[in-house]
Amino acid sequence: MDVHNPVPVTRIAIPIGDPNGIGPEIALKTAIAMRDEPRVCITLFGPQAVLEATADQLGVTNALTDLRCVFTPAMPAGTHQPGVVCADAGVATIRAATEAIHATQRGDFDAVVAAPHHETAVHQAGIAFSGYPSLVAKVTGQPEDAVFMMLMGGDLRIVHVTLHEGVQSALSHITQGRIERAVHAGVRAVHRLGISNPRIGLFGINPHAGENGLFGHEDELISRPAAQQLRAQGLRVDGPLGGDTLLAARAHDFYVAMFHDQGHIPIKLLYPQRASALSIGTDVMLSSVGHGSAMDIAGQGVANPQAMMRTVALLAGFHSESPV
């Protein structure tokens, strides 16, 4: 290495997600696989006993002593059971993620890459939670409707105006202001990824973006005025148009979907087990992997860490994946 021009190092905090899912395994595998990568410095966040048990199960007990770890409060005895959904695992999930977010907000880390959570476990613990974006908002003191998810796979990036809620509830939350905030959050996020003047594709709320009111008036009342306002601000926004039409062209740096499935399906179809979910709209950059906690294979040592490794590399700025 040239000592006069050292390689920049990105400091990544990795909370292990649900301790009873595959999170501890893929977090540990990622930290071990990337410990000699000079551009990344990884620190794991989670209960010590969980990390030690996972290392033992993987046959890498000694490796754990060489890794950077911040140990969060222990789980009650007998509750670390891979594959079991329980409230204590939900509590441990939120504690580890919260400590990692606080540490990043203090400037100790550059970004957080969170392992998969299990929403049922978190809700069993009585914790209000609708995904990592809502947690980032709560921990950093921002309104939930100011933080959004950008799901990414390869060069396909989709911001979600709404996320984990029923269709009727989501529709009631889609406003002109919320769409505009989502677009601006997306612009700031891709700026950090090196895209200075993005082309933006705005999905309609209804099929064909309402077809001039034939399929509902929401687009005429909400999404179209939002697009006009954003263009007046100098942003390169196309739409609102049907998501299928915009995606078929693949001519944009990122897209804005109105609903969870509208944005998730294209990414999950093209990049299964390889997607990253970035929480945007806050100063704390948090990304999670685009797959779940896989309780059915937890504790078996067969979980694939590639999605997490790609996410770490993406945030460190040295990875690009070709589209399928």
* Extents of the domains making up the chain: 1-142+279-324, 155-270
Could you check whether 1-142+279-324 and 155-270 share the same CATH topology? yes
What class is the 155-270 domain?
A: alpha beta
Tokens of 314: 């993406």
Note whether 242 and 208 are within 8 A (CB): yes
Q: For the whole model, what pTM was predicted? A: 0.82
* Superfamily designation of domain 1-142+279-324: Isopropylmalate Dehydrogenase (3.40.718.10)
pLDDT per residue of the chain (324 residues) written in tens, 0 to 9:
344 445 577 999 999 999 999 999 999 999 999 999 999 999 999 999 999 999 999 999 988 889 999 999 999 999 999 999 999 999 999 999 999 999 999 999 999 999 999 999 999 999 988 888 889 999 999 888 889 999 998 889 999 999 888 999 999 999 999 999 999 999 999 998 889 999 999 999 999 999 999 999 999 999 999 999 999 999 999 999 999 999 999 999 999 999 999 999 999 999 887 788 899 998 898 998 878 899 999 999 999 999 899 899 988 877 544 332
